[in-house]
């Protein structure tokens, strides 16, 4: 939880820096809301028992509830993040951060805006978060469903097979990353340039990269025609971020690779998203559309990586933030210890005291060592008489007598 | 969500100040884990549909999962808080903050310690939180199940009726609060003083109040023999905090009063808890006991109060923290706006930009007014030439030209 809190703080700070508000939605959705949104993965949805009333299911992701919320509340523009748990009756793979209950961490921009500006901001956000989390080098692959669809059309694939083929392309072994001037070359292809969808996608791709240059993120972003993504609802730009470093626990077994991934993204990826302009309309009685673009951070996988990093390092992760333990080496000083602890709490100091009448000094020091408390404030008859407290640094064992009136400042100074 | 975030921050800071770590547990528990823990309220438990595998239910509170977690992991001492949603198939009462899905906010101390020290800390925590939330005057009623049981025994109530009577006493119209010297008087009662349980409870009550005096909270804490609390598992001290101020939405209809309350506490109460020394043992194969004492903050009710306060006040609650909107009064400056916004993000400034090529200055200013953004950084041909940015205070409409190099400091200075 301590590691998770750090990761959340970095991500939430980034979302707030980009002006997002947060919303919450119930863990239940009407069963019918989820029906027909996830293709064959629908079998992984958890249903509630019919105990009377509406038939309910547990949310499978945060995107469908978000779209339902926008339609139901007639919201036509919002920039929001939502960090919450979702549920899938899948085969867990603990070391890879794949569970039946897991966090999703979504940022989305809904609204009718000029092309590619919010899309570019989503990519900037992925870039900032992966940089700040310090997970090593990464790259962000970008493609556009319209380009893929255009290519399928030109190759003679029937319309109704587009989504199935996307799903298949997404599972292929990926070729090397292709350069951006590819967009230019594809636009000059005699057949493809006749396809409206493909042209729109390619023109937007060029526009997107011009904004990404202004956002100074093109060193990590690559146009990759082989990126398809599994989800049905994407209608434009799609993207996926992949760590360059191979992390052992993230290398899945072939059996796992055949299953759907927790964020609908391929193995190794830590963020993914894209534009879905049709989903909100599915929940509006009049079919009114609200264009959306968003990104989902693969936060469970990031937790796994951070936890493994913490385990590998010699430094112990603290689970509390206590600054000082109020202790005594002598008997019958419980009241004095409680009084001092109370005074420290009242001054905003994070303080603990052992719940024993006469604890041994050794066991008090051991508690500090076990939980990483850096300071001990030691009370004794002599200290009480002199109006001082002996402040001990747990690691260096250095001790200094601090006048009672200076104690709070001294603790703050030594634990900042 | 903005209001909730503020409340959470106050509560979590307090828990951390008292040295607590946090844990998380799944929203599912095995159905059998919850069976037989909630008396007749068990009918309110949500079950999952049997889709193969274990039979699961949604957690009904955080205390039973905590006890299950301690027993399963053989943890014999921990000080933890847990803020998470629980689920009850109850009749919702929205204005009173009673929902089928709602947050619980629990702090518990598990471990074999000297009497009443952790119990006193729990009461100190309730006192601190209610003070800091600034909800008006309050009082905390304290009693002990052993005193109640002793009195029932002395009155000739058969053992197996104790818990039912507790439940009934808890629903009675409460008499005036009784003073602490009551403990002394009861200890001198010829019949009651012969009852072991009652004597232990009364002696501990005196000890508890001596610690509460050291913690400087006795101005709000009262010994109230009529407090019984509904839950079966309490074995010692019990307590409940009540706001003195009557908040209209919190006054329930008689129909609602008959139902169980969301935190198992009576109407008007905003925190409750007590000692439950037997619960962990119910989950341990060898019945090993881990004594526990804890408190649950009635956070949904507090949210309701805070939301009503916010609605009543003229000040609008901001849902974002954006410090500055990067704007322009002229056309064709999208690239310059994006560049400046990017630079501000990179410097850690919370900045927004409208996703339009050529937005009108008026609509940019309106966005600030609607969402409470305090500053606008305005770019124009002249400003770009001069290397300055026009910084406008949205409320006062005052404008000042700031050299580009000083912009970040100037924004920080004006938004702290």
- Name the residue facing B342 among A24, A26, A214 (closest C-beta): A214
> What domains appear along chain B, each with residue ranges and CATH number?
2-312 (3.30.930.10), 324-414 (3.40.50.800)
Of A87, A322, A356, the CB nearest to B113: A356
3-state secondary structure of B388: strand
The model's pLDDT over B228-247, given as tens digits with 9 standing for 90+, comes to 887 788 999 999 999 987 65
* Contact residues, chain A, for B19 at CB < 8 Å: 320, 322, 350-352
Q: What ipTM does the predicted assembly reach?
A: 0.88
- Kindly report the backbone phi and psi dihedral angles of residue B241, in degrees, each rounded to the nearest multiple of 5, phi listed first: -105, 140
Span B284-309, pLDDT tens digits:
999 999 999 999 999 999 998 898 88
What is the per-residue pLDDT across A281-319, written as a single tens digit (0 to 9) for each? 999 999 999 999 999 999 999 998 898 888 888 788 999
Of the candidates B84, B63, B77, B96, the residue with the CA atom closest to the CA atom of residue B300: B96
A148/chain B closest Cα distance in angstroms: 26
Task: List the B221-223 sheet strands across, edge first.
Answer: B21-22, B78-87, B101-110, B292-297, B269-275, B237-243, B138-144, B221-223
Cα(B138)–Cα(B15) distance, integer angstroms:
20
Our measurement of the distance from residue A100's CA atom to the centroid of its chain's CA atoms, rounded to an integer in Å, reads 17
Residues contributing to the annotated binding site of A:
61-63, 88, 104, 108, 229, 233-234
Residue in the structure block whose two tokens are 């301590």: A2
Token output for B26: 């799944």
- Using the predicted structure, report yes or no on whether residue B171 has a pLDDT greater than 90: no
Q: Decide the pairing of beta strands A237-243 and A269-275.
A: antiparallel
B221 sits in which H/E element: strand B221-223
Please report the pLDDT score of residue A165 as a whole number: 78
The answer to whether the beta carbons of residues B341 and B353 sit under 8 Å apart is yes
List CB contacts of A49: < 8 A, sequence separation 6 or more: B46, B47, B48, B49, B50
**Residue from A22, A30, A34, A48 whose CB has the most chain B CBs within 10 Å, to mutate:** A48
Nearest CA in chain B to A124: B342
pLDDT tens by residue, A161-206: 887 777 777 766 655 555 667 888 888 889 999 999 999 999 999 9
Most confident of A267-271, A316-320, B63-67: B63-67
Minimum mean pLDDT among A214-223, B174-183, B206-215, B352-361: which range?
B174-183
pLDDT value for A179: 64
Query: pLDDT of B113-145, one tens digit each?
Result: 999 999 999 999 999 999 999 999 999 999 999
Task: Express as a percent the part of chain B with pLDDT over 70.
Answer: 92
For chain B, helix (H) and strand (E) counts, in that order, are 14, 15
- pLDDT reading at A250 higher than 60: no
Cβ–Cβ under 8 Å, residues A240 and A140: yes
B289: left (phi over 0), alpha (psi -120 to 50) or beta: beta
Tens-place pLDDT, residues B258-278:
433 444 333 478 999 999 999
pLDDT at A242 over 50: yes
pLDDT value of residue B263 = 41
Preferred mutation among A3, A18, A19, A58 to probe B, highest tally of B CBs within 10 A: A19
* Least confident piece of the model among A389-393, A397-401, B65-69, B225-229: B225-229
pLDDT at B180: 62
What average pLDDT score do residues A142-150 get? 94
CA distance A399 to chain B (A): 23
């Amino acid at each position: 939880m301590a590691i998770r809190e750090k990761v959340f703080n970095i991500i939430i700070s980034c979302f707030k820096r980009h002006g997002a508000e947060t919303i919450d939605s119930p863990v239940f959705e009407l069963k019918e809301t989820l029906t027909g949104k996830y293709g064959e993965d629908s079998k992984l949805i958890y249903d509630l028992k019919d105990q009377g009333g509406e038939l309910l299911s547990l949310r499978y992701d945060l995107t469908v509830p978000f779209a339902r919320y926008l339609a139901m509340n007639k919201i036509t523009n919002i920039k929001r993040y939502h960090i919450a748990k979702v549920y899938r009756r899948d085969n867990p793979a603990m070391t890879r951060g794949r569970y039946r209950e897991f966090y999703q961490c979504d940022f989305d921009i809904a609204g009718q805006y000029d092309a590619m500006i919010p899309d570019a901001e989503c990519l900037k956000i992925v870039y900032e978060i992966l940089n700040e989390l310090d997970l090593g080098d990464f790259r962000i692959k970008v493609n556009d469903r319209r380009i893929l669809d255009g290519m399928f059309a030109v190759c003679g694939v029937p319309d109704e097979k587009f989504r199935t083929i996307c799903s298949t392309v997404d599972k292929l072994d990926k070729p090397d990353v292709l350069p951006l001037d590819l967009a230019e070359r594809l636009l000059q292809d005699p057949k493809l340039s006749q396809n409206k969808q493909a042209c729109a996608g390619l023109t937007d791709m060029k526009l997107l990269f011009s904004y990404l240059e202004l956002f100074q993120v093109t060193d990590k972003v690559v146009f990759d025609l082989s990126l398809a993504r599994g989800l049905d609802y994407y209608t434009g730009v799609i993207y996926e971020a992949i760590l360059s470093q191979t992390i052992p626990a993230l290398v899945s077994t072939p059996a796992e690779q055949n299953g759907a991934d927790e964020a609908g993204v391929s193995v190794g990826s830590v963020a993914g998203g894209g534009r879905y302009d049709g989903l909100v309309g599915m929940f509006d009685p009049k079919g009114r559309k609200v264009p959306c673009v968003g990104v989902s951070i693969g936060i469970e996988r990031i937790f796994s990586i951070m936890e493994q990093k913490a385990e590998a390092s010699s430094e112990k992760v603290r689970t509390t933030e206590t600054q000082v333990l109020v202790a005594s080496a002598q008997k019958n000083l419980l009241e004095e210890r409680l009084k001092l602890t109370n005074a420290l709490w009242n001054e905003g100091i994070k303080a603990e005291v052992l719940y024993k009448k006469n604890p041994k000094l050794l066991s008090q020091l051991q508690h500090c060592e076990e939980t990483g408390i850096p300071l001990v404030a030691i009370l004794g008859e002599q200290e009480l008489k002199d109006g001082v407290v002996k402040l001990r640094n747990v690691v260096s064992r250095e001790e200094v007598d601090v006048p009672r009136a200076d104690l709070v400042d001294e603790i703050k100074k030594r634990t900042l």
